[in-house]
Structure 1
Amino acid sequence: MSRFPAPLLVLCSVLSVQFGQATGKSLFGSIGPGGVVALRLGLAALVLLLIFRPALPRGRTNVALVIGFGTAIAGMNLVYPAMQYLPLGLATSLQLLGPITLALLTSRRLLDVGLAALAVLGVWLFHSPTGAHYELPGILLALASGASMAAYLLLSRRAGASTIMASPLVWAVTWAAVLTVPIGITASGTALLDARVLGVGLIVAVLAAVLPYSLELVALRRIPPRLVGILQSLEPAAAGLAGAIILTEHLSAPQWLALVCVGAASAGTVAGQRRRRPPVSDRGSRDMAPRWEGKSDDR
């Protein structure tokens, strides 16, 4: 992957996440959102453990970081039950409000007020001009997913990441799987063992977790986290595209404009942040790597 431009890797990550989530939503009729989350995180953890073979975390600080990151990742997957009620593009836009709000609360610039207004305008445009109405549970679940994303970023900043390594992320995904797989098994039972469901679930795990995480780890060795965050602000538009292609969720012109507004607000917020030692981005950002004590080579 080193021969490909780093921004291209991030764009591929963005598309991979959203098409993976759209594919996951297509399984709702068979196993429900709980089952999809269980397959996504359970299979992703297995694949990441096999690929990176990370060293075990050592010390209370590193264990606490893994638990915090993993719990936040599990919370971010509330976007899946939210998609029972919302189009993929709207669910992703509401999710992004978490990191946007976090960035704005830690800033004192007047420009950020305008960016916040732009994000709010985007959410309003999604339903008011078209007369569409969405159920409150879906909105609340998507906002809870965004709050989990903000918590993930906050943990990253407190960790003061100095290196970009796979170990914390792999163990965090594993812990998230420990939290969510039992829920999926309880909800879906033996339906999770169906060959077709497992096959599609593996595709979801690769597209929505393994591939984007890996691409971002490579990209973050070559470009600043701020640029990664700006490129990830394309996720609402990518979600709208994935929803239209895979789920036939056709959006109106004002709704496409809404996705652009939220993405622009996210990009402006990231671009305007003062330069600081990384936070690294994760699923938008999905993914900031904490300082990790131990080997520098996870393989």
Structure 2
Amino acid sequence: MTPTRTGATLALASVVIVQLGLALSVGLFDELGPEGAAWLRLAWAGVIFLAIARPRPSRFTHTGFLACVALGVTTAGLTMFFMAAIARLPLGTATALEFLGPLGVAVARGRAKLWPILAAAGVVLLTEPWHGVVDPAGVGYALAAAACWAGYILLTQRVGDEVTGVRGLAVSMPVAALVATVVAGPSVAVRLTWELVLVGAVLAVVLPVIPYTLELLALRRLTTAAFGTLMALEPAAALVVGLLLLHQVPGPAAIAGVAFVVVAGIGAERTGARPAAVSPVAEPSRA
């Protein structure tokens, strides 16, 4: 298998595993709520990445370390906002709205004006404002997650320019865990059981540890344009996973809306991608 095909396979596997991890996390909502489920995942992910990479402060520049800290804060916001969104919206709808973040970054880099129009049409179809049945709080949380994802991309590229390997994640993920602990930890800790703690550990491995590793390996074999194009398939994957695992049956408008967002994402990524960096390798996409 060629490096390009290997990279594409790894990236697509990451897309599927991310959505599986999100669908499985829904099962914790009844016990811990969406914020608690996000906190438990981030706490375990922070511990795991610390154990794997064991970062040394002396190996970071001042600006690189600050970028990692900012990335951690953004990661916490992204994770917690999105978990709150999928507690109120179908997985496919929430993921498509969240994808407006990276789509906006890609559009800002490019010159084509068609993609924002196509994405806007997709959002209208996904939310169906003429029916008024979509939870406005869920839409707000998904859009907040989209803004965090856009910031995450920019900060990830900054960290990737200054920090090699997964050392950036070994700082950003513990920071994300600390932020989530301040926000949700005190109210959730009293409801924890050993069973929930173990379930959280398993979910943290499924998301983000395994996908981050796969994405890191994929980014070593693909250009950012190719990688971003494959990531644009994520809303479609979320639609399928939501149907199969969560029994969320999308209507025709939702299917069309996701299709519009996916096409807009692919087009924007292909016309506005950042040139591939040779070294150091950029970190993977998100938490």
TM normalised by structure 1 equals: 0.85
Deviation sequence 1:22-50 (CA, Å, 0-9, x none): 11122111100111111111111212222
Residue in 1 that maps onto 2:180: 180
Residue in 2 that maps onto 1:165: 165
User: Are the equivalent residues in 2 in contact too, given 1:31–1:188 (CA < 8 A)?
Assistant: yes
Alpha-carbon RMSD across the aligned residues, in angstroms, is 2.4
Distance 1:274 1:178 in 2: 32
Distance 1:271 1:187 in 2: 44
Q: Which runs of 5+ in 1 are unaligned?
A: 288-299
Count the aligned residue pairs: 280
TM normalised by structure 2 equals: 0.88
Distance 1:115 1:121 in 2: 10
Task: Call closer, same or farther: CA 1:174–1:182 in 2, change over 3 Å.
Answer: same
Deviation sequence 1:160-190 (CA, Å, 0-9, x none): 7277511012211111011102333222223
* Greater helix fraction, Structure 1 or Structure 2: 2
Deviation sequence 1:110-146 (CA, Å, 0-9, x none): xx32111111111111242994621221111111111
Task: Call closer, same or farther: CA 1:138–1:275 in 2, change over 3 Å.
Answer: closer
Residue in 1 that maps onto 2:48: 47
Distance 2:97 2:257 in 1: 11
Distance 1:147 1:69 in 2: 13
State the shift of 1:227 in Å: 1.2
Q: Which amino acid aligns with 2:235?
A: P
Distance 1:39 1:141 in 2: 19
State the shift of 1:246 in Å: 2.1
State the shift of 1:89 in Å: 1.0
Distance 2:273 2:184 in 1: 41
State the shift of 1:79 in Å: 0.4
User: Are the equivalent residues in 1 in contact too, given 2:96–2:235 (CA < 8 A)?
Assistant: yes
State the shift of 1:240 in Å: 1.2
- Aligned-partner SS, 1:203: helix
Moved over 6 A (4+): none
User: Are the equivalent residues in 1 in contact too, given 2:85–2:142 (CA < 8 A)?
Assistant: yes
- Aligned-partner SS, 1:161: helix
User: Are the equivalent residues in 2 in contact too, given 1:6–1:222 (CA < 8 A)?
Assistant: yes
Residue in 2 that maps onto 1:91: 94
Q: More displaced, 12-21 or 194-203?
A: 194-203
Q: Which runs of 5+ in 2 are unaligned?
A: none
Residue in 2 that maps onto 1:294: none
Residue in 1 that maps onto 2:219: 220
